[in-house]
Amino acid sequence: MSVPDLGHEHTARQAGHTRIAGVDEVGRGPLAGPVTAAAVILDPDAIPDGLNDSKKLSARRREALSEAILASAQVSIAHATVAEIDEINILRAAHLAMERAVAALDPAPDMALIDGNMVPLGLTLPARAIVRGDAVSLSIAAASIVAKTCRDRLMRDLAQQFPGYGWERNAGYPSKAHREALLNLGVTPHHRRSFRPVHNILYQEK
């Protein structure tokens, strides 16, 4: 099984770039909560062992790696809110979160490696989109770990304020328990009203 490496980062360095940020987002699919992005510039001399696509790691391993990344790399985390998701659509909101994460890095990167097949339009630096980037680029893998760990924590916090939806387990994704809670408990301020299951409930209530 292949693991991420620094091949794309080396290619960027050969093109003259020295501060290369891996960028990824998490949270496009949930019915509730923000979309979260991270931008990470790894220190080539202090890369934590075991970096991989966050989806391939256990929650405990992600937590440990996230702490190691925050201690050894330059990291920025940003969000796009539920209101922004409903206003501009989830793809644009995900890109907005990515743009914010890149913009918050200080000192700024001079190149960004973006997970996915599109470079966010608002980026003002050279960037390359890499499909399944979190599986092939160590920088993007690091960003995926940080973003998912941060968003999962946020959803656990929200679950304490709005119990019954199972956000501490499903992170806002449309699990069976979450969908049933929507029907039984109703829509919260943290639900995405533009998403069909939520929209349909609101429409039926009128």
Contact 31, 161 (CB under 8 A): no
Q: Residues 43-54, buried b or exposed e (16+ Cβ, 10 A)?
A: eeeebbeebbbb
Q: How many CB atoms lie within 10 A of CB 121?
A: 9
User: Could you give the residue ranges of the DSSP H alpha helices within the chain?
Assistant: 7-14, 59-72, 82-88, 90-104, 133-136, 138-161, 167-170, 176-185, 196-205
Residues 6+ apart with CB under 8 A from 96: 80, 84, 88, 120, 122
Is residue 24 part of an annotated ligand binding site? yes
Is residue 43 part of an annotated ligand binding site? no
Is residue 84 part of an annotated ligand binding site? no
Contact 68, 60 (CB under 8 A): no
Annotated binding site for a divalent metal cation: 24-25, 115
Annotated binding site: 24-25, 115
